[in-house]
Amino acid sequence: MYICICKGVTDTAIREAVCQGADRMRDLKSCLGVSEQCGICATHAQEVLEQALVQKTHTNQFLPRPPAY
Ligand code: FES
């Protein structure tokens, strides 16, 4: 689903950016251009960002840890 119409940014693109390390709106702005033009998307982009960060945290909790040597 498109989140930012001005820049053609989807929720999937935001989730991928979070997987790559984005964790603030500032990061989404610099890497995807979210909310750089009209700004109408900012609130929704923030919601997707927060959901993606929660998902990332939960996913990382259940990944196997490398052995400690
Ligand atoms: S919809 Fe994102 S800047 Fe306009």
Contacts of 18 (CB under 8 A, 6+ apart): 49, 52, 53, 56
pLDDT, residue 32, reads: 98
Could you confirm whether domain 2-61 is CATH 1.10.10.1100?
yes
pLDDT, residue 44, reads: 97
Test site for ligand 1: of 6, 30, 44, 46, most ligand atoms within 8 A of the Cβ:
6
pLDDT, residue 67, reads: 77
| Residues within 6 Å of ligand 1 by CB | 4-7, 34-41
pLDDT along the chain (69 residues), means of 10: 98 97 97 97 98 91 75
The reported pTM is 0.86
